[in-house]
Amino acid sequence: MTLTPTLLLAGIERTLNALLARDPAAPSRLARLSGSRLLLRLERPELSLAIHFHPAGLDLLCPETESEDTFDAIVALDAETLGKLLGGESIERLMFQGRLSVRGRVPLLEATRDLLLDLDLDWEGELARWLGDVPAHSLAEGLRRAARWSRRAHGEMRSDIAEYVFEEAKLLPGQHQLDNLRDHLTELEMTTDRLEARLARLRRQLEREAAL
């Protein structure tokens, strides 16, 4: 028997619990969910996943046999819908579209989704555990400054490149010039159409006169 799915599940569980342990808001949320059991039934690929909440995090299990009466909520969905759900799409909308079926406590699904999506990691606090408060704060400040500089440099570089390409070297037309060109082309197209129509009318007139 292969242990790969078990290994995968253990890895996901460990990662989620490690992330939850680093979120200062997680304990109060977990306390509200503690003792709840949610069964996720994926249709494609076919997989049942039981989520048990406890004060320190959650346990993920692939139950061999599922007795539905022991779960607070049973959710049936496919992998695509799971992606949308975790992407923040409204649960009600997915339910109305018939992509998601929930039996039992619907708020449990919402609370589970919020718990995972609203993770706010105190990474500076985690660094402080390893390095001490002052070095961790200095490092965090340094990283924040680097991130701000990188965002500003990115914005400035974009505007400098645009200025050079559109204004100085005139390698490409700007948006305004492009709109102007489109207007002129539209006008030219309409004039050509009118001229074509006049020529056609003239041809018909000449043919009629020749026939007389």
Partner 1 sequence: MSPLSSPGDKHTTHFGYQEVPVDEKASRVADVFHSVAARYDVMNDLMSFGIHRLWKRLTIERSGVRPGHSVLDIAGGTGDLTLKFSRMVGPRGHVVLADINESMLRVGRDKLLDNGVGGNVEYVQANAECLPFPDNTFDCITIAFGLRNVTDKASALRSMTRALKPGGRVLVLEFSKPVNPLLSKAYDEYSFRLLPRMGQMVAGDADSYRYLAESIRMHPDQETLQEMMEAAGLERVEYTNLTGGIVALHRGIKL
Site of interaction with partner 1 (CB under 8 A): 1, 3, 6-7, 9-10, 35, 37, 52, 54-56, 59, 61-65, 67, 70
Q: Which is nearer to partner 1, 24 or 55 (CB)?
A: 55
Q: Which is nearer to partner 1, 70 or 191 (CB)?
A: 70
Strand partners, 73: 38, 104
Question: For the sheet containing 37-42, what is the strand order?
Answer: 57-61, 47-54, 37-42, 73-77, 101-104
Please give the biggest Cα pair distance in the chain.
Answer: 106
Phi, psi of 67 (to 5 degrees): -105, 110
Q: Write down the least CB distance from residue 64 to partner 1, Å.
A: 6
Q: Write down the least CB distance from residue 57 to partner 1, Å.
A: 10
Q: Write down the least CB distance from residue 65 to partner 1, Å.
A: 6
**Beta strand 47-54 with 101-104: parallel, antiparallel or unpaired?**
unpaired
Q: Write down the least CB distance from residue 161 to partner 1, Å.
A: 50
Q: Which is nearer to partner 1, 63 or 135 (CB)?
A: 63
Contact (CB, 8 A) for 3 and 10: no
Q: Which is nearer to partner 1, 7 or 206 (CB)?
A: 7
